[in-house]
């Protein structure tokens, strides 16, 4: 499997953990990722159930995302996101489920940010890196869950005036 070109070291470590847990199999089992193993990433981690009806339901929505964006998505679906965002995420998730391979992506967007101190929201152009990893049920060979890590990149990581290109 070709290693993704990850800019964020935390995502590189998450990918390495996933590869180690594969233990020669196409996919690691979701139950192998205990809270102790995932602790370094929990605030910036999503665990998403792959539903049989083509939907994706958030089982865990990292606390840093809740704080940053002011919305709790646990137990909600990708369909509950704004339509443009939902369509892009669904396309990525569908691709990972079909190919059973990790996907990394850089994306720049005007994100709605909640300033909890002033209790107001605003938009800010930010670049994030996301890593989507498929997980199987016990003994399974299809994706039953997706594990997604995402981190905002500092502007120095992408260069001034540079528009990131999806990988």
31 pLDDT higher than 90: yes
Q: What is the pLDDT of residue 126?
A: 81
Mean pLDDT of the 28-32 span = 95
CB 4 within 8 A of CB 15: yes
164 pLDDT higher than 60: no
115 pLDDT higher than 80: no
At 60, list the tokens: 């865990």
Q: What is the mean pLDDT of the chain?
A: 86
| Distance of alpha carbon 66 from alpha carbon 51, whole angstroms | 23
Task: Name which residue leads in pLDDT, 2 or 73.
Answer: 73
Q: Does the structural domain 9-106+129-148 have CATH classification 2.60.40? A: no
Task: Quote the strand ranges of the chain, DSSP E.
Answer: 45-50, 56-61, 103-115, 120-136, 143-152
Task: Name which residue leads in pLDDT, 148 or 114.
Answer: 148
Q: What are phi and psi of 19, to 5 degrees?
A: -60, -45
């Amino acid at each position: 499997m070709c290693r993704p070109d990850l800019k964020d070291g935390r995502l590189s470590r998450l990918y390495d953990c996933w590869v180690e847990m594969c233990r020669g199999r196409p996919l690691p089992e979701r139950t192998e990722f205990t809270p102790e193993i995932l602790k370094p990433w929990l605030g910036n981690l999503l665990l998403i159930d792959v539903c049989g009806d083509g939907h994706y339901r958030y089982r865990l929505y990292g606390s840093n995302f809740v704080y940053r964006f002011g919305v709790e998505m646990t137990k909600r679906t990708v369909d509950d996101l704004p339509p443009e965002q939902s369509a892009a995420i669904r396309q990525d998730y569908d691709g990972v489920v079909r190919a059973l391979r990790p996907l990394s992506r850089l994306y720049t967007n005007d994100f709605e940010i909640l300033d909890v101190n002033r209790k107001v929201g605003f938009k800010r152009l930010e670049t994030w890196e996301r890593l989507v990893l498929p997980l199987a049920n016990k003994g399974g060979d299809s994706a039953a869950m997706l594990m997604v890590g995402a981190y905002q990149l500092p502007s120095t990581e992408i260069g001034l005036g540079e528009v990131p290109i999806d990988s």
